[in-house]
Amino acid sequence: MPPDLARALYTLLLILLSPLVWRRVWREWAPTNPRRERLGLIAEVDDPRPCLWLHAASVGEVATATPLIEALLADHPGHRLVITTMTATGAERVRERFGERVRHHFLPLDFPGATRRFVRRLAPALAIIAETELWPNLLAACRHRHVPVAIVNARLSNGAFSLYQRFRPLTAGMLADVAWVGAKSPSDAERFIALGAPVDRVTMTGALKFDLAVDDEAERESERLRREWGERPVWIAGSTQAGEDAQILAAHAALRARFPEALLILVPRHPQRFEEVAALCRDAGETVVRRSERRREVTASTTVLLGDTMGELTMLYGTADAAFVGGSLVPIGGHNLLEPAALGVPVLSGPHLDNLREIADALAQNDARLEVADATALGQTLIALFDDVSRRHRLGEAGRAVVAANRGALASTRERLTALLDPSTRR
């Protein structure tokens, strides 16, 4: 099937499903961004500087792309930088982290008119997509306006690869419009090539997550909180998903049977679950303080600190003696294992890590990650770690070493993006 016909059929299906699609994005709203942005109706800016555009779908992608965003601001001061997200939480993270240094818009829905309007008004010199947000009409609009597109930290899980394979004419047409793919692992590079990306446009750069930098202010806040809490055992469960929190609370109960003064920092992945998780904690008999309630202090009687704020996960990891990373006890695929590892905090996870298999394996092979199957195993592992200070130290230092040894994706990505901005280097 010709790629243009495949895209036309895709567009027809999207139009038929548009009531469901619109209902979903209607909830993803921010007071700073009118909903008409979903139709490509962004305000035109009176700024003569050329535009760099980076798309990061949600909070996780924004976090991964943060070192690259900082690099783009430093490398190209003569350009204005625009960040798009799909979610409101991603938009909030962009505003919190970068403020007025960047401009934020919501990505338009992938209707031909909306995407053409968006790309025309934005007029980017380069489009950068973090990870795998491949929208056929958006990429076609970039091709029509001669905008080079790069996919950075590009990844394809086994599930995503199988899905894209079913629609290979559409996928091959999309990837033909991409100027460069910076794959985060050899297997990701192979999958992109198998789906139709030209071999000479795919580079294995490594994972940008290895190049994460800890903010000095966040580090100081971690140290301040830890001094306030004293010598008690502290562990964190970060980016938890539905189905995990009850297991984590059961593991914490087991830990407190051995260490009654232990403190759990529980950080759900999605803000809409904060109230639900707070109720779970209370129902489990825990004494809860919510991070958003700054007037309430964590005292010796507090057993759970609920991390119900945005943008503080790395800082909270820095307060802990051990870190469980969520999305891994349930079949979500796992979340960022490298944030705690980079801080020298021992890393624990469940077995479901399809989204970051190479990173998970690199940590495990270097004795820098412990895998648990369920709440019972998590509780037993935590007890063993808090009984053995030297083992915790070895795990933490091993994680830090893995992160240091694998840095470099940012440098190669910066080099290729700079080259794409030079018209003489384009194919």
**Residue of 38, 86, 79, 44 lying closest to 62 (CA atoms):** 86
**Residue of 88, 122, 119, 94 lying closest to 106 (CA atoms):** 88
Query: Which helix (H) or strand (E) element contains residue 105?
Result: strand 103-106
Catalytic residues: 61
Q: With contact defined as beta carbons under 8 Å apart, do 266 and 307 qualify?
A: yes
- SS3 assignment, position 217: helix
Question: CB within 8 A of 175, min separation 6: which ones?
Answer: 134, 181, 192, 195, 196, 197, 198
- What is the phi/psi pair of residue 426, to 5°? -80, 150
Please classify residue 74 by burial: count the beta carbons closer than 10 Å to its beta carbon, then call 0-12 exposed, 13-18 middle and 19+ buried. exposed
DSSP string, 329-367: TTTT----SHHHHHTT--EEE-S--GGGHHHHHHHHHTT
Q: With contact defined as beta carbons under 8 Å apart, do 362 and 402 qualify?
A: yes
How far apart CA 391 and CA 396 sit, in angstroms, is 9
- What is the phi/psi pair of residue 34, to 5°? -65, 150
- What is the phi/psi pair of residue 125, to 5°? -80, -25
How far apart CA 416 and CA 149 sit, in angstroms, is 12
Amino acid at 308: D
Q: If you compute the radius of gyration of the chain from its CA atoms, what whole number of angstroms results?
A: 22
